[in-house]
Amino acid sequence: MEGTMDLQDWLKLHDWVQTGGHAKVVIQSGLVQVNGAIETRRRKKLREGDTVTYQGRTATVHL
């Protein structure tokens, strides 16, 4: 889908996780929130303006 990015790829791109395996663990463990809700799908499509929260950090998605 144009104008989207998978959650696991976004976390790696912004250096919030080290590897794809690390992304899988933190997402599937319920440690990541998207728009204030726990997200456990690694391939959740993020869109412009979504917010991602992990380990006390929150960022707005800009694609």
- All structural domains of the chain with their residue ranges: 4-60
The b/e string for 14-44 (b: 16+ C-beta within 10 A; e otherwise) is eebbeeeeebeebbeeeebebeeeebeebeb
What is the rounded CA–CA span in Å between residue 32 and residue 16? Answer: 11
Q: Given the structure tokens 């889908």, which residue do they identify?
A: 1
User: What CATH number does domain 4-60 carry, 3.40.50.460, 3.40.50.300, 3.40.1260.10, 3.10.290.10?
Assistant: 3.10.290.10
pTM of the model: 0.91
Calculate what percentage of the chain has a pLDDT beyond 90: 94
What would the pLDDT profile of 10-54 be if each residue is shown by its tens digit? 999 999 999 999 999 999 999 999 999 999 999 999 999 999 999
CA atoms 15, 20, 26, 28: torsion sign: positive
How high is the pLDDT of residue 20?
Answer: 93
What would the pLDDT profile of 26-38 be if each residue is shown by its tens digit? 999 999 999 999 9
